[in-house]
């Protein structure tokens, strides 16, 4: 195996283990030693690949973001789908794109870690907004959306979605969470100036009863 390949696999090994630990215990409460023990590598080796603990986090955030962007991009570029459906799909693809990420919402408190949250918020908003913007603009030209603030609307919705649904700190009952999701779709509808009920209807078709 070539060295560079080995480096990449080594790096993603570290990344995988660190990610699961960060999700499990939170960034702050995961020590470098935890990562070393679980991965079986030595400190020198870890710091050969990553220059700091925060560096590892950044890479994890980026990798998660990449997946989401890819998914969103794929949706945005698909032909023959109306803008409303695309927008809903793109928004929903944010949450459950990663299996383990689901825990983050479920395992309360554990992930009450600010670092991860704020970094992924910034990452998602800055990198994903331009993609959702494409969808919204498609909707505007199709006449199903109406707004003079397409980019800002997307940014605001992304902020809200992330704070609401990817945050262990705002621990809520499943029933409340369900209402909040309905409300979010409803507000999205209004914010984008879509036909009253259009997105709500679509979302109910897409997930008739996904309340677990």
Partner DNA sequence: TAAAATATACCGACGGTCGGTTTGTATCAG
Partner DNA sequence: CTGATACAAACCGACCGTCGGTATATTTTA
Note whether 17 and 38 are within 8 A (CB): yes
162 binds a copy of itself (CB under 8 A): yes
140 contacts which partner out of DNA, a copy of itself, none, CB within 5 to 8 A by kind?
A: none
Find the Cα–Cα–Cα–Cα dihedral 167, 60, 78, 151, rounded to 10°.
60
108 binds a copy of itself (CB under 8 A): no
CB neighbours of residue 141 within 10 Å: 10
Closest CA relative to residue 21, chosen from 38, 1, 7: 38
Distance, in Å, from the CA atom of 57 to the CA atom of 32, rounded to the nearest integer, reads: 12
53 contacts which partner out of a copy of itself, DNA, none, CB within 5 to 8 A by kind?
A: DNA
Give the binding site for DNA (CB under 7 A).
Answer: 1-4, 6-7, 10, 30-33, 41-45, 47-49, 51-54
118 binds a copy of itself (CB under 8 A): yes
Q: How far is the CB of 186 from a copy of itself (least distance, A)?
A: 6
Q: What angle do CA 95, 34, 14 make, to 5 degrees?
A: 60
Q: How far is the CB of 34 from a copy of itself (least distance, A)?
A: 19
Measure CA 62 to chain center. 11
DSSP3 helix / strand / coil % (the chain, rounded to 5): 75, 0, 25
194 contacts which partner out of a copy of itself, DNA, none, CB within 5 to 8 A by kind?
A: none
Q: How far is the CB of 113 from DNA (least distance, A)?
A: 12
Segment contacting a copy of itself by CB under 8 A, of 10-18, 44-52, 81-89, 188-196: 188-196
Question: Given the complex with DNA, which of 53 and 86 has the nearer CB atom?
Answer: 53
Distance, in Å, from the CA atom of 5 to the CA atom of 22, rounded to the nearest integer, reads: 25
Ramachandran region, residue 82 (left: φ > 0; alpha: ψ -120 to 50; beta: rest): beta
Q: Which residues are at the interface with a copy of itself (CB under 8 A)?
A: 112-119, 121-122, 125-126, 147-149, 152-153, 155-157, 159-160, 162-164, 167, 169-170, 179-180, 182-184, 186-187, 190-191, 193
């Amino acid at each position: 195996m070539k060295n560079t390949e080995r480096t990449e696999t080594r790096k993603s090994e570290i990344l995988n283990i660190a990610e699961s630990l960060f999700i499990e215990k939170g960034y702050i409460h995961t020590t470098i030693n935890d990562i070393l023990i679980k991965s079986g590598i030595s400190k020198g080796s870890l710091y050969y690949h990553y220059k700091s603990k925060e560096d590892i986090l950044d890479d994890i955030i980026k990798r998660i973001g990449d997946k989401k962007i890819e998914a969103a991009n794929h949706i945005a570029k698909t032909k023959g789908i109306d803008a409303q459906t695309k927008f809903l799909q793109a928004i929903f693809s944010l949450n459950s794109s990663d299996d383990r990420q689901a825990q983050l919402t479920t395992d309360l408190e554990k992930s009450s870690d600010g670092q991860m949250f704020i970094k992924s918020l910034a990452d998602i908003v800055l990198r994903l907004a331009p993609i959702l913007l494409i969808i919204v603009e498609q909707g505007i030209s199709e006449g199903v959306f109406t707004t003079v603030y397409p980019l800002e609307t997307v940014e605001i919705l992304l902020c809200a979605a992330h704070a609401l649904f990817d945050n262990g700190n705002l621990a809520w009952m499943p029933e409340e969470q369900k209402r909040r999701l309905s409300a979010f779709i409803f507000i999205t509808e209004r914010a984008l100036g879509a036909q009253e009920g259009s997105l709500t209807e679509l979302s109910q078709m897409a997930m008739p009863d996904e309340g677990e």
